[in-house]
Amino acid sequence: MTKAPIRVTITGAAGQIGYALLPRIASGQMFGPDQPVILQMLEIPMEKAMAALNGVAMELEDCAFPLLQDMVLTSEPDVAFKDANWCLLVGSKPRGPGMERGDLIRENGPIFTGQGRSINNNAASDVRVAVVGNPCNTNCLIAMHSAPDVPDDRFSAMTRLDQNRAQAQLAAKAGVHTSAVKNALIWGNHSATQVPDFVHTTINGVSAAEVIGDNDWLTTTFFETVQKRGAAIIAARGLSSAASAANGLVDHVRDLRNATPDGEWRSVCVKSDGSYGVPEGLISSFPVRADGKGGWEIVQGLELTPFLAEKIALSAKELSSERETVSGLLS
């Protein structure tokens, strides 16, 4: 029997990431090859943005995707979030060269109060929210606070792109295929303070730290390459990552929907319960396991080296400071 369609809201749907993301959702890569979808696409109420959104919808139509049941094009959040099962909050300003993601907070933060409220009032009772718009951890915090009727564990922000970046860098250094690298892991904020773990990541089943055996490279070159990869893409392309960001989001949603294989975890920014010394309530990246039924847990008991513990504490400090900056937006 054909499954009932799910409603997926994508904000900023006419932007760069939206353009790379929408065909991947409509072709079944995010929700599965037998799951019909209705795309509810939100853009700003400007003629140029709505015209671009219309063009994107025309292209989706021209793909004749078997799973695409319907499309809603709107500049009204209450229409876009109506009965939504998944809300992908992408729409916001990207940073330019020389900026940090946190510099966007005053401009982008307020977007997530209105959208959080609209999700609270309009979305389906099983709604899940994934935040990509930067600074994504703190924007997720704002949306979560603005949606008091939606359980906090439905909110997440994306570090799956960073996880993939770390996996690729470690594979290249070790001279192996990326599939040999398991449990690549990002802790903390999706920012230049993020912590790419090399102790708990394995290469062919052995700790990456041991396989690579070059602590200097791991704690400097590897660390900084992953932390600053977003800026390097901006410098190279003149625009922020889009194809890899959309790919990260496809992975992120699948990570939360599908049961995580035994012995593995994925990097997901979720509300901290105080694990690993990250202050409660912050949205921080942790090793997360999903149960395949909508539930997830933070993996406990990983032993932190003094180096990792110090770096995680620094990233958590930055998240606390971002929370302080937006305290006026947290209801």
Residues engaged in binding ligand LMR (CB under 6 A): 94-95, 101, 134, 161, 230-231, 233, 240-241, 245
Of the pair 60, 130, the CB lying nearest ligand LMR is at 130
Identify what 37 binds: ligand LMR, ligand NAD, none; CB under 5 to 8 Å per kind: none
Binding partner of residue 132 among ligand LMR, ligand NAD, none, CB under 5 to 8 Å per kind? Answer: ligand NAD
Task: Provide the β-strand partners of residue 156.
Answer: 130
Q: Which is nearer to ligand LMR, 157 or 329 (CB)?
A: 157
Q: From the CB of 284, what's the least distance to ligand NAD, in Å?
A: 14
Strands 6-11 and 86-89: parallel
CA atoms of 108 and 10, how far apart (whole Å): 16
What H or E segment, with its residue span, contains residue 74? strand 68-74
From the list ligand NAD, ligand LMR, none, partner contacted by residue 14 (C-beta under 5 to 8 A by kind): ligand NAD
Q: What is the DSSP letter of 153?
A: G
Q: Please tell me the distance from the alpha carbon of residue 313 to that of residue 315, in angstroms, as a whole number.
A: 6
The DSSP letter of residue 268 is E
Whether the bond into 5 is cis, omega within 30 of 0: no
Q: What is the DSSP string of 171-211?
A: HHHHTS-GGGEE--EEEB-SSTT-EEESSS-EETTEEHHHH
Give residue 63's identity as a one-letter amino acid code: C
- Using CB under 6 A as the binding rule, whether residue 116 contacts ligand NAD is answered as no
57 in contact with ligand NAD (CB under 6 A)? no
Least Å distance between CB 175 and ligand NAD?
A: 27
Distance, CA of 311 to CA of 305 (rounded, Å):
10
Q: Of 145, 190, 200, 252, which one is the catalytic site residue?
A: 190
- Contact between 132 and ligand NAD (CB under 6 A)? yes
Compose the 71-90 pattern: x for residues touching ligand NAD by CB under 6 A, - for all others. -------------------x
- Give the closest residue to 10 by CA, choosing from 292, 250, 240: 250
Interface segment toward ligand NAD; rule CB under 6 A; list 14-22, 257-265, 272-280, 319-327: 14-22
A 10 A CB-CB count for 208 gives 28
For residue 177 the two structure tokens come to 């295929």
Cβ-closest residue to ligand NAD? 15
**Residue choice 10, 71, 161, 250 for contact with ligand NAD (CB under 6 A):** 161
Distance set, CA 331 to CA 57, 87, 135, 253 (Å)? 36, 20, 19, 27
> Directed axis angle between helix 243-257 and helix 16-26, to 10°?
40
Q: Which is nearer to ligand NAD, 202 or 240 (CB)?
A: 240
Which of ligand NAD, ligand LMR, none is residue 233 near (CB under 5 to 8 Å by kind)? ligand LMR
Cβ 19 to ligand LMR shortest distance, Å: 15
* Closer Cβ to ligand LMR, 181 or 245, answer by number: 245
With binding defined as CB under 6 A, does residue 141 bind ligand NAD?
no
| Residue 49 touches ligand NAD, criterion: CB under 6 A | yes
End-to-end CA distance of the chain: 44
The span from the CA of 132 to the CA of 119, in Å, is: 16
In a 3-state reduction of DSSP, which class is residue 288?
A: strand
Q: How many residues bind ligand NAD (CB under 6 A)?
A: 30
Q: Which CB atom, from 194 or from 272, has the smaller least distance to ligand LMR?
A: 194
Question: In angstroms, what is the minimal distance from the CB of 131 to ligand NAD?
Answer: 8
Q: Catalytic annotation on 177?
A: no
Which spans of this chain sit near ligand NAD (rule: CB under 6 A)?
Answer: 11-12, 14-18, 42-44, 49, 90-95, 111, 132-134, 136, 158, 161, 190, 240-242, 245, 248
Q: Which residues are identified as catalytic?
A: 190
